[in-house]
Amino acid sequence: MAADSEVPAAGADAPAALDPVIHAPARLRIMASLAGLADGDTIKFPRLQKVLGMTGGNLITHIRKLEGAGYVRSEKAGRTTTLSLTDSGRAAFHAYRQSLRDLLGSD
Amino acid sequence: MAADSEVPAAGADAPAALDPVIHAPARLRIMASLAGLADGDTIKFPRLQKVLGMTGGNLITHIRKLEGAGYVRSEKAGRTTTLSLTDSGRAAFHAYRQSLRDLLGSD
């Protein structure tokens, strides 16, 4: 019977809790996409919808949640809505990614 | 107004869906801890419970779900239950971690 092993750091000491606003898979994909934009760049709602392969209704629901958390900014110009990360959204995404890395450890 | 930008790969093309059995935060921490054990090593249930700071009931619920997916093996010897990843659990965790890396991209 193998010895009862010590659990290495990954997963053991409670890393910063994974931000539930970001962790939900659909919102994680939205945040990852917006985080990939250069600072100051925006993306049109229909474009993001197409890229992520989500329904408009589903995307709006998650965008509202992310706006409510102050992570995403949506601006309307005429009939066009553009989306981008706020500074706090970018900071939250980086912190989330770091706690995930801490949790998952490396190979 | 910044140009409507192309969304870089991260988050765009749908990476392998994040395995929902693993993605739930509590189960993600359990899998990360068990994945940190050397192949063939096991950990006692109370030890894992203490390390993760979870209630016994909560841990059992998630362990059952992971066993149901074939990812975790629990063995009873007398009054002691020991836990470890199955081969398919280890493979599923590595695949999950890779799709997360694909999604999150690097800095």
CB contact under 8 A, B7 and A48: yes
A16 phi-psi bin (left φ>0, alpha ψ -120 to 50, beta other): beta
List the single residue in A with minimal CA-CA distance to B17. Answer: A25
Closest CA to B23 of A66, A30, A26, A107: A26
Average pLDDT of chain A is 87
Partner residue opposite B41 with nearest CB, options A2, A38, A103: A2
The residues, ordered by sequence, that sit 6+ positions from A19 with a Cβ below 8 Å of its Cβ are: A92, A95, A96
* Residue B15 domain flag: no
The residues, ordered by sequence, that sit 6+ positions from A32 with a Cβ below 8 Å of its Cβ are: A93, B10, B11, B103, B104, B105
Return the percentage of chain A with pLDDT > 70, whole number.
83
* Residue A64 domain flag: yes
Mutating which of A18, A31, A33, A81 best tests the B interface, going by the most B Cβ atoms within 10 A?
A: A33
According to the model, what pLDDT value does residue B2 have? 46
* Residue B1 domain flag: no
* Residue A6 domain flag: no
Q: Which residues of A touch B40 (CB under 8 A)?
A: 2
According to the model, what pLDDT value does residue B104 have? 87
Per-residue exposure over B71-88, b if at least 16 CB sit within 10 Å of its own CB, e if not = bbbeeeeeeebbbbbbee
| Mean pLDDT value of segment A34-47 | 93
What whole-number distance in Å separates Cα of residue A55 and Cα of residue A36? 21
* Residue A47 domain flag: yes
| Mean pLDDT value of segment A32-37 | 94
With bands split at pLDDT 50, 70 and 90, how would you rate the model's confidence at A8? low
The answer to whether residues B27 and A23 touch, using CB atoms and an 8 Å cutoff, is no
* Residue B11 domain flag: no
User: Residue A78 sits in which domain range?
Assistant: 20-104
What whole-number distance in Å separates Cα of residue B27 and Cα of residue B39? 19
Residue with tokens 């950990």: B43
Quick one: which H or E segment has residue B79? none
Partner residue opposite A11 with nearest CB, options B18, B33, B47: B33
Q: Does residue A95 surpass a pLDDT of 50?
A: yes
* Residue B63 domain flag: yes
Tens-level pLDDT at each residue, chain B (107 residues): 444 555 554 445 555 579 999 999 999 999 999 999 988 899 999 999 999 999 999 999 999 999 999 999 999 989 999 999 999 999 999 999 999 988 887 65
According to the model, what pLDDT value does residue B9 have? 45
List the single residue in B with minimal CA-CA distance to A34. Answer: B7
Least confident of A12-16, A63-67, B49-53: A12-16
CATH code of the domain covering residue A47: 1.10.10.10
Q: Which residues of B touch A100 (CB under 8 A)?
A: 100, 104
According to the model, what pLDDT value does residue A61 have? 97
Number of domains in chain B: 1
Mutating which of A7, A31, A90, A99 best tests the B interface, going by the most B Cβ atoms within 10 A?
A: A7
CB contact under 8 A, A7 and B44: no
The answer to whether residues B14 and A54 touch, using CB atoms and an 8 Å cutoff, is no
Q: Which residue has the higher pLDDT, B7 or A14?
A: B7
* Residue A3 domain flag: no
The answer to whether residues B43 and A5 touch, using CB atoms and an 8 Å cutoff, is yes
Q: Which residues of A touch B53 (CB under 8 A)?
A: 14
With bands split at pLDDT 50, 70 and 90, how would you rate the model's confidence at A60? very high
| Mean pLDDT value of segment A24-44 | 94
With bands split at pLDDT 50, 70 and 90, how would you rate the model's confidence at A41? very high
Q: Does residue A9 surpass a pLDDT of 50?
A: no
